[in-house]
Chains A and B, each alone.
Chain A
Amino acid sequence: MSPLERRKLLTGLAFSSPWLIGLSVFLLYPLLAALYYSLCDYSVLLPPVFVGLDNYVELFQDRLFWKSLWNTTFFALGSVGLGTFMALTLAILLNSKVKGLTFYRTAFFLPSLMPLVAGSLLWFCMYSGQGGIINTLLGKIGITGPAWLSDPNWAKVAVIFMAVWGAGHSMVIFLAGLQDVPISLYEASIIDGASWFQRLRHVTIPMISPVIYFNVVMGIIGGFQAFAQALLMFGPTTAGPPEQSTLFYVLQLYNVGFMDLRMGYASAMAWVLFLIILGLTFLATRLSKRWVSYDR
């Protein structure tokens, strides 16, 4: 390597060093440390003791691991599925040329700006079984609404609805994608006699499929890390009431690591979650080759 090349290399490394240092200190080290601790009996206050795969073996036999995984999967699938559908529907509606469009766009985007704590309190009041606005409105059309937050069959659904309410960010991304679809394609399909639904099915969806793919992957990653919603809506207990129906995976991880001082076990949980998210993202990427179109 010539002195000039070495100098260039050093300059390059110096400029990228903030990112490299950040990645190593705040991502790589915690990741590897957690991997090591997951193989240890580590109570935080005492030095870790190596126990091999014991934590993983215990994890797969733990009722609460499976319970929290099921709760989280239900929430992630529900919030990603419903959230994507709602965000896409709203984006398509907001992409049309109607009067007061700016107002509607702002109105639908606003909930996603609401801080999680304030939003949770608002939904807490709306979900009230007696006198809450949701059940009052349901009552007007002759439906007896459930006790959203006290009934174990409805508590998770209630959290999903709250998550969908904040789908404004996805909606804006979809809207940007929709506005990027060439008009010529719509014109060609109209000339060919395509109906509105056919245009949606064969032009719009394929053209914005990369955006859908992006939102779904980000939604899955976020959904599997659900934590604050359950704590805010059902706290101060972290037991995931009612009947552990809102005991999400990260909440259980928090319980085990910070409340029960079993950081080794919590690290094993964190690694399993990491692998699950990695696997799902990989799966989505593989599937994307079949349905995501990058043609322009």
Chain B
Amino acid sequence: MKVRSVSRPPSHRSRRNWTWLAPGVAGLILAGSWFVLRPSLAENSVPTIAFIAQTTGNELWEAAHAGARKAALRDGFRIYWNAPTRSDDVERQIELIESAIRREDVGLVVAPTQYLALISPLRLAIARHIPVVVAGSSVPIPAGNGLVFVLNDDQVMGRMAARRVGMLLHGSGNVALLGNDPNSTGNWIRSRAFEETLVSEFPAVSIRERDSSSPTFEEAAENAEKILLRNSQLAAIVSLTSTDSEGALTALRLLHRTKDVYLIGCDQELDLMEGIREGQMDSVIAENSFMIGQRAEEAIAALRHRRSVQATVLIPPLLITRDNIDRPDIQQILSTDWRGAP
């Protein structure tokens, strides 16, 4: 026979009062607070890449925005996008870079407005271990150590402009070269490649006028008008910036010389596309800014994940004429749909 003896601990008398509501109320309050704070927390939870373009005044950068955003959506990043309203507002661009550094964004893409002034802020970002991509045109900082260049191939752009002029003029004629900008290395490379190609391949084409770039469309139109009034035998105008191209197109329209002076522009702008469609200008050699934006984001992602990345990437430009303007790859770089949806 087994005998069993079991003892259990006594239980306390249960209590019941209104205070059982307290944790529930606290939970509701916390849930309410969470609901209010959720959007900013959710936004902050997505790593952000700051893309500081040259200016918001040119559609060229909308396609770069789209390219970067498309890649960012794929890679799980958010793109912060902003730029100065004027392409010569270096101070504002530096402010925006400093803001991105202060926010500790995970990457910084900058399309520099100036060759020298951005060295210090970009070096500061690199020193803070923020991956940096310089997009479009260069600055004098050696690549590597967290810095990558994704640049328009300005050498090719200059050569393409020269060959287009040579072809249109059948190897002989007077040309004006507008939009020279000593502050931009890319512009200088374009100009030099253009002139070298003309000398070597079309020696009978001479540059009769050279003019520096204008900060505004109106000033560019005024300068172009002066040049056209001075040179009645001008056969072509090559403009190295979109602002000067717009000014030249306006001057040609006003002086009714769109039929006898070819206009070849560099860098895209929607108003110039109107000129191409209407046959008032010959062509635009466009930066593939969509690809620049996309490759810039990919470089940031690679730097962030410590993958190997090419130190300098050169993106070839595209020639836009009346014949190819509706081609999909051309439309992609003319699009102002910055949302970057696939």
Pairing of A with B: no
